Amino acid sequence: MNAYSIADLRHIAKRRLPRAIFDFFDGGAEDETTLDANVLAFRRIRLAPRVLVNVAEIDTTTTILGEPSAMPLAIAPTGAVGFGWHDGDVAIARAAAAAGIPYTLSSTATASIERIANAAPGRLWFQAYILRNQAYLHALIERAKVADYEALVITVDLPVGGKRERDFRNDFRVPFRFTPKNVLDFATRPRWLGSLLAHGMPVMENLRGLEAEAHSAHAIASSVGRNYDPTFDWDRLRQIRDLWPRKLVIKGILRPDDAVRAVDIGCDAVVVSNHGGRQLDGAAAALDALPFVTAAVRHRVPVLLDGGVRRGADILKAKACGAEAVLVGRATLYGVAAAGEAGARRAIEIIKDELVRSMQLCGVTSSGAVGPDVMFKGVLPPRC
């Protein structure tokens, strides 16, 4: 595959997918300023390479949430992947398992908790959106426990859905309705359309039965949107802490005080994230918020970063600002949408190759040795 960067995979995916589907994966909320800021925050940081170091051997291995990982990288939860590639969730999970890194299954995935556990044994985390139907949510959590998922990831930055205007412009709405615009759009990608017709409309398998009439992925997605629970608060989070006996990760933190409160009630890790810029436009870039959060939690729990990672060197920069590891979502989405499991594997390979090369060029021989000194001090964001 002639893809040498995540941007190359994005370009291939864009050519293969209908515009509406690509924009659903690629886009952000409103003016997409936070989406852009996530990437630009990494570009502002400059590295300070140490020279004359023996870098013939590089060790990228590390621990994430106390367990070994081949590198400081995990796959972020991404929903509706099956619209980009049939069984795309399974493909990404298998790619992660082959690479020796954790994979996070989204509540809105097009593969079930059990199917992923059977098809892609590895380090599995389950991400739960907070639904009004508490019994249904608790049942999902129980299913993840029975399937032996090692961590539960609770997304806390989505009391309501964001305003993603690309979807409006493309007539991509839920519940889905065919219009002249989107029918023409789909027809321009006959190979993608042929696969969809051959395999049928993807279904968000974890959410079957959320509403009796919701059978298609679009209808179920609509029911999920209606069932986000804006009343979810710290007391409810404590209840989930009591339900889940393993690692509990809170994703969607930008404020230091929220991070401290999450740790105080027993959460095992915090993910600094703005939901990839898909919800609140104008929110702080994840990397800009990271140093403040890491300083606040004072090494009591691991802090992970999600948002804007497109290069292996970005992992170095995130670790230098205090992150134990990073999560990537769009990178493997572009990969799987470009070429299925081979594309997802290629995305991970690209990031690892760039990470190793960046470590060599910076004179750092192991992941554990990455610290603030790899950054050029003149252009640091505050408190890095």
Return the active site residues. Answer: 275
> Which residue do the tokens 């992941």 mark?
367
